[in-house]
Structures are given as C-alpha cells and as structure tokens.
Amino acid sequence: MDDIYKRGACVASGRHELFFSEDPADLAVAQSLCAECSVRILCLQAALEEGVGWGVWGGVIFWEGQPYYRRRGRGRPRREERDLPLEADVRELWALVR
C-alpha cells in the first residue's frame, strides 16, 4: 500500500472524492486517472486481497463489494452502452493481477 500512497495517480490528483463518489460521471473520471497510473495493478491486487467494499481501485469500481467495469446512471442505458458489460468477473481480475 505504501507504493500506492507514494506513486498513485489518485493521490497525485488531489481529487480523492472522485474515487468514492456515487456519481457515475465522477467514477468514470477516477477510472481515467487510474488508466494512467503506474501502480494500477498493485492497487487492484490490494483491493482484491482486502475485499474492499467501495471505491475505484486499479481502474475497477467496487460497489457493495462487487466489482464493476462501469456504473450507469438512473434510467435506460444509452444505445451505444446497452451491450457493454457492467459487472466484472473476479476470476478475470485475479488473472490480470497475476
């Protein structure tokens, strides 16, 4: 976790609230910051090992302990987003970490 706190894009951005927001737009911004992060995989590994319940970790959204690739707002999904996956497969995430 020290590497995450020292070199993480989440810390460097100074926008910690994005990583624990309930707004899908904020979560998407947090994920874009993670995409550029040098410790992204370490962060995801720590989240999986610790079973985090909330927040964006390693570019994955954890919501009530379940990992998601993205979160939608209320209402119907946009046509272009209709077929995109929401929930992440924990086994795939562990494979990515390894």
* Cα–Cα distance measured from residue 23 to residue 79, given in angstroms and rounded to the nearest whole number: 20
What are the pLDDT digits (tens) for 27-57?
A: 999 999 999 899 999 999 999 999 999 999 9
Distances (CA, A) of 70 to 1, 29, 31, 33: 24, 11, 9, 14
What are the pLDDT digits (tens) for 54-79?
A: 999 999 999 888 898 876 555 555 66
What are the pLDDT digits (tens) for 6-26?
A: 888 888 888 889 999 989 889
